[in-house]
Amino acid sequence: MDQYIGKLLDNRYEILERIGIGGMAVVYKGRDHRLNRLVAIKILKEELAQDTEFRRRFHDESQAVAMLSHPNIMAVYDVSHTPELDYIVMELLDGITLKQYMQKKGGKLAWREALHFITQIMKALSHAHSRGIIHRDIKPHNIMVLRDGSLKVADFGIARLTSAAQATLTQEALGSVHYISPEQARGSHIDARSDIYSAGVVLYEMITGRLPYEGDSPVAVAIQHINSIPLSPREIDPEIPEALEAITMKAMASDVNQRYISADAMLADLEEFRKNPSINFDYTSADLLVTDGDEPTQVLGANTPHSVRSQPAHSDKYVPEEPEPHPRKRQSRPERRDEYDDYSDHGSKLPIILAIAAVAIFLVGIGVFLFVSFFSGLGISGDTVYNVPNLYNKTIEEAQAMDEVVEAQFQIVQGDTVASDLPEGYIVSQTPESGRNASAGSTITVTVSDGSQSSEEGEVMPDLENQDYRIAVSRLEKLGFSESAGNLTIRRENSEDVNEDYVISQDPDPETPLDEVDRVELVVSDGKKAEMVTVISFIDMTEAEARKKAEENLGLVVSGVTEEYSDDIEAGHITWQSINNGDEVAKGSSIQFRVSKGPDPNSTAEPSTAPSTEPSTQPTQTPGGGSSAAEKTVPVQVDLPRDGRETVEVVITVDGERKYAETVETKMMSVVVPLTSSGTRTVTVYIDGQEAWSRAIPFS
């Protein structure tokens, strides 16, 4: 049994169970007895706790993450750094990783959904970069998808302060090979643009359903990041908008000077694309090539690298002097004969030979470095944890050839053979189940079909109860029943007994002859009915008092606290809450607060000589025509209907002016839309043309 389970840390945090293992630490589920809430506790691995350097790095991580406070970044509640134990207390997220989410969706997302996710990722990176923090390991495995459709970037395990000294790269520092930036693979200096490259790879994978580079070994993949450019997304799927492809490829440019200058620049293009999907950014694949000449070694600012020339978000493209028609590999450098002319005049070849030898030694050094960096920790051990893939409806040979199985070195072993409607030899179930975590080299035991009830033979309706409804739908589609064909209906309802997304009942019953079945209805569980709570007003409470009432009394989760100047609210007291007073929400919902920093010391506004009896809802106009009231961005949550519709059109207006219009999938349950304005405005939400609600929201 794990030595920490059941222990009480600092007489406050009880460790309940282990939920994950990373390169440097073990993550546990715990309970904060002081605030009576569940938390995640990251404890530095025991074998690393004896190493001063690892303890320093772990402490640096806690300092880095503690500096961040953003709705799209996992919150840190507490940090402990003692001679005996190092741990970080973080919010416990109720969701799955973006990688798991993509696997559930078949590996590929609709481009609108990918746009929704990448926008949140870039907002998180913008916040981190603005505080000098580079994540260095952006990948879908480190991004959590919550039930409301929002994302949180997690695991700053190899994050680094921009101002920190650049240490020799280790395997952890390299990040994950499929998402690593070229400069990380080379061991060069990195800055915020390395995170932008990795985010570009994540976007590429979301819209295409595949990674940009694959290889027989991690070294081969890393070399491709350095020397190659990937297949363009529209060559994989012509339905992908050209502008989204341009954004993706610009973020993934091998030359850092051809990438977006900052996360904010990429966000600007994403916003322009969201408003106008047919926009043309005038960007070609030639921009992905590395420019001639070495990049100088220098310290760069995290969010606005000073070595990058000033440029707009979608700047004029870089055009090589002699571009090839369809570049796929990085162009070789032109010979620099001018450096050797003087020596050639004297008939000496020695400098040229020495230069060639130096280049050869450099290339060999890169190979050795990458080999040591990647393979030193790739042995089969319990410390490396992978997500178990879904092997259902595959032959054992197909399962063994899956990328996820090969990468994790999973061993596929055949167990029982059972009666099933799948063809003979196809996998019916597996242990451990898909979505679980397992150590590299673990054995997956599979149960295969004997084909006795195969749909090709037959005859009767299969038993679908207590199955994941996605598997049930897949089986029914093979029998000719689907929602698109109009002969399959899926109805959802709450259940106290059946897990969410599993089939509660079916009509017709199992074993009904198929020739008697015209249509099928599945009743799918939405899980236990959420307990609703009525939100109170937290305005003018202290932050500690608001947290206590929100979490202990109402069962809400405080997901973010930011600060703002206020002339009306005392410093340290709440000025704004993301859920309005009187609204009913599900217990466990996230709420955000703003806390007053007191009056703005830089404010030049003259105090009013005559106090107003009514608060103004409109900003004061300045002589130049501008507004003296600062605009604020307020996240507005829209709960989506659960009446069987797959998609709905959501339109949001502010004082009658349309600010948002998107078609969204109802399975997201809700969407959070940031609205920017000033004063108090009337916000109205329409779903499929029908007004859902309208209320006054303060933007100040």
- Residue 484 in this model has a pLDDT that exceeds 80: yes
Crossing angle (nearest 10°) for helices 218-227 and 350-375: 130
How many other CB atoms are found less than 10 A from the CB of residue 563?
A: 16
| Spatial distance between the Cα atoms of 251 and 262, rounded to a whole number of angstroms | 10
Read off the DSSP letter of residue 328: -
Buried residues in 175-192 as b, exposed as e (16+ CB within 10 A): bbbbbbbbbbbbbbbbbb
Whether 106 has a pLDDT exceeding 90, the answer reads: no
Q: Which two tokens stand for residue 308?
A: 């990058």
Contact 112, 210 (CB under 8 A): no
Query: Model-level pTM?
Result: 0.45
- Check whether 490 has a pLDDT greater than 50: yes
CA–CA dist 212, 538 (Å, integer): 48
- Percent of the chain scored above 70 by pLDDT? 75
Amino acid identity of residue 315, one-letter, is S
Angle, CA 401 vertex, CA 398 and CA 404 arms, to 5° = 115
Q: Which of 216-220, 274-278, 654-658 has the lowest mean pLDDT?
A: 216-220
| Tens-place pLDDT, residues 403-441 | 888 888 888 888 888 877 677 888 888 888 777 777 777
- Please list, residue by residue across 576-593, b when 16 or more beta carbons sit within 10 angstroms of its beta carbon and e when fewer do: bbbbeeeeebbeebbbbb
Q: How far apart are the first and last CA of the chain?
A: 52
The per-residue pLDDT for 352 is 67
8 Å CB contact between 314 and 250: yes
Task: Kindly report, residue by residue over 115-153, the tens digit of the pLDDT.
Answer: 999 999 999 999 988 888 888 889 998 899 998 788 999
Beta pairing partners, 543: none
Least confident window among 347-361, 458-472, 537-551: 347-361
In this predicted model, what pLDDT tens digit does every residue of 432-467 receive, in sequence order? Answer: 877 777 777 788 988 888 876 654 445 788 888 888
Structure tokens at 183: 């400069």
- Express as a percent the part of the chain with pLDDT over 90: 20
Name the helix (H) or strand (E) containing 531. none
Does 542 score more than 90 pLDDT?
Answer: yes
Beta strands in 74-182, from DSSP E residues, in sequence order: 76-81, 86-91, 95-97, 133-134, 143-146, 151-153, 160-161
Residue 318: pLDDT over 80: no
Q: In angstroms, rounded to a whole number, what is the distance separating the alpha carbons of residues 13 and 4?
A: 11
Q: Which of 285-289, 384-388, 696-700 has the lowest mean pLDDT?
A: 285-289
Question: For 270-294, what is the mean pLDDT?
Answer: 69
Least confident span in 9-18, 385-394, 528-537, 611-620: 611-620
Catalytic residue among 32, 78, 86, 137: 137
Q: Is the pLDDT of residue 522 over 90?
A: yes
pLDDT tens, residue by residue, 545-568: 999 999 888 988 887 888 888 888
CA-nearest of 697, 564, 585 to 634 is: 697
Reported as a pLDDT band with limits 50, 70 and 90, residue 355 is: low
Q: What are phi and psi of 568, to 5 degrees?
A: -105, -30
Pick 529 or 606 by higher pLDDT: 529
Q: Tokens at residue 225, please?
A: 């990041």
* pLDDT at residue 370, as a whole number: 55
The whole-number average pLDDT for the span 234-261 is 91
pLDDT at 452: 67
For residue 47, pLDDT beyond 60? yes
* 159 Ramachandran zone, left/alpha/beta (phi>0; psi -120 to 50): beta
684 pLDDT band, cuts 50/70/90, is: very high
Q: What tokens appear for 200 in the block?
A: 């570009």
Q: What's residue 272's pLDDT?
A: 92
Higher pLDDT, 614 or 569: 569
Q: Helix or strand or coil: residue 325?
A: coil
pLDDT digits (tens, 9 = 90+) for 565-607: 888 899 999 999 999 888 888 888 889 899 998 888 876 544 4
Q: What is the mean pLDDT of residues 352-375?
A: 61
CB of 281 closer than 8 Å to CB of 266? no
Per-residue model confidence as pLDDT tens digits over 264-281: 999 999 999 999 888 887
Residue 196 has pLDDT above 80, yes or no: yes
Confidence (pLDDT) at 297: 31
pLDDT confidence tier of residue 369, bands split at 50, 70 and 90: low
With 0-12 CB in 10 A as exposed, 13-18 as middle and 19+ as buried, what is 527? middle
- Whether 137 is a known active-site residue: answer yes
b vs e for 130-162, b when ≥16 Cβ sit within 10 Å of the residue's Cβ?
A: bebbbbbbbbbbbbbbbbbbbbbbbbbbbbbeb
Q: Quick one: pLDDT at residue 163?
A: 43
> What is the model's pLDDT at position 223?
80
Question: Is the per-residue pLDDT at 215 higher than 60?
Answer: yes
**What is the overall mean pLDDT for the chain?**
77
What would the two tokens of residue 150 be? 């929002």
ω into 212 cis (within 30 of 0) = no
| The pLDDT of residue 331 is above 60 | no
Question: CA 384 to CA 637: how far, in whole Å?
Answer: 38
pLDDT at 478: 81
